Amino acid sequence: MSFEFRLPDIGEGVAEGEVVQWFVKEGDSIAEDAPLVSVLTDKANVEIPSPKAGRIARIHAQVGEKVKVGGLLVTIETAGGVGPSTVAPTPSSQPTARAPTTPVPATTSPSVPPSAPSGDVGRILASPYLRRLAAEKGVDLRTIRGSGPGGRITEADLDGGSKLPTPTVLGATPSPPSAAEAPRTASAASGTVPPTASPDSSDVLQRIPIRGIRRAIADRMSLSTHTAAHFTYVEEVDVTELVVLRERMAKHVERQGAKLSYLPFFVKAVVAGLRAHPRLNATMDDARSELVLHSAFNIGIATAAPEGLIVPVLHGADRKSVLQLSREIADLAERGRAGKLARAEMTGGTFTITSLGALGGVLATPILNYPEVAIMGVHKIQRRPVYLPDGAIGPADLMNLSVSLDHRVLDGIEGAQFLATVKSYLEDPHQLFAEMA
């Protein structure tokens, strides 16, 4: 029998997921609990196992497609079901009962070329992107035999397809479309609207679909910039003593199999700053117009991954030592780049730190990790000459910190006071020992 598997509820608050990867193709056999599909939610890839053993009859959601919870993912023929040739057809391929129809006047009927293959266009296995691309090129997807998994059409297959005919009106003298009308003619024949092209499309090097983590980032950044009112404040910090302290501690930490960066110290200084200014350790509930202050210090660490920026979260950062933070930051970063983080490890943040390390630059204005109301940017440390307390000129290790705030609920003075607290802990790092639980 046929079993329809729908996207299950894979986490509180998750309404939809994007199909990232299928581990099977139509016609494959699969065992119960074997990997079936990878779905992206909240920047976390969730691997969903097969609920049944059987044969993959039809995949209903293609890679890059968003599916609502409860939406149909795949049809599986379970043991004892019908064979491949007698699988119940989907609604798009079922024969329909003949019904009286209103005749279409001959003067408005488009001609159908006799060479056009008869088949159901709805069964063409091609992504929306390829359908648009085919429309741009005027290629009839019905004439293409796909070389991808399960007969899916790939971009390379488009060159072998027949050109779509130009619709004509019976009884009228056809006229060739102008250059400006040609794309519209192709799109009308395929039922799709091609993307806007530049005046000279001959210089297009590549079209890159925005999907997966990159699309999740785009959605979240758009939501943040169109919802929160961003304000950024910058402070210069003398971290000369912190540089010395880290070098001394690094030797002891390395003996325990970990590498000590500056990030654990920044996390501890941020926790101290949030204790003193708790309104920054908060998220915004726009549905209820409430600023939600949190007692937990869950610090997100923005991390570069192959597919885009991710933000794993250090839960309970105030309760962890510098050594523990070093190990956890390294572990989260490594598994994040490999796409192996659980959803719980990427949610629940109350404040975020973003840093490019040695490439931190002089200044940046971070975008809020909405619904959080504050984020701190860490920039590179540079040794520069400064005036010393005795009036002489000497070397110092300087860096900039920037904090972006949601100016709807936080004033600039609060950001300045917060960074002043963080600065005091970093310039006199021995104070951090109070935070090094």
Contact 269, 426 (CB under 8 A): yes
The topology under which CATH files domain 228-434 is Chloramphenicol Acetyltransferase (3.30.559)
Residue 411 annotated among the catalytic residues of the structure: yes
List, for the chain, all residue ranges whose pLDDT scores fall below the cut of 70.
11-13, 42-44, 80-130, 132, 148-150, 152, 160-201, 357, 434-437
- Among candidate residues 81, 427, 111, 32, the one with its CA nearest the CA of residue 269: 427
pLDDT given at position 190: 47
Q: Which amino acid is at 115?
A: S
For residue range 383-407, list pLDDT tens digits in order.
999 998 888 999 999 999 999 999 9
Task: Supply the DSSP symbol for 310.
Answer: E
Alpha helices in 308-374 (DSSP H): 322-337
pLDDT given at position 422: 97
**Residue 129 token pair:** 């992107």
pLDDT given at position 336: 87
Contact partners, residue 276, CB within 8 Å, separation at least 6: 417, 418, 421
pLDDT given at position 201: 66
pLDDT given at position 274: 97
Q: From the candidates 60, 230, 294, 407, give the one annotated as an active-site residue.
A: 407
pLDDT given at position 262: 93
pLDDT given at position 115: 41
pLDDT given at position 100: 43
pTM exceeds 0.85, yes or no: no
pLDDT given at position 130: 66
Distance, CA of 353 to CA of 419 (rounded, Å): 13
Distance, CA of 394 to CA of 389 (rounded, Å): 10
Q: Where are the domains of the chain?
A: 2-84, 228-434
pLDDT given at position 123: 53
pLDDT given at position 121: 40
Distance, CA of 424 to CA of 436 (rounded, Å): 16
Alpha helices in 159-205 (DSSP H): 182-190
pLDDT given at position 76: 94
**Residue 7 token pair:** 């996207």
Helices and strands, number each (H, E), in the chain? 7, 18
pLDDT given at position 154: 76
Residue 390 annotated among the catalytic residues of the structure: no
Domain 2-84, CATH class in plain words: mainly beta
pLDDT given at position 86: 36
**Residue 358 token pair:** 């040695």
Enclosing H/E stretch for 134: helix 128-137
Q: From the candidates 9, 411, 428, 430, give the one annotated as an active-site residue.
A: 411
Task: Supply the DSSP symbol for 69.
Answer: T
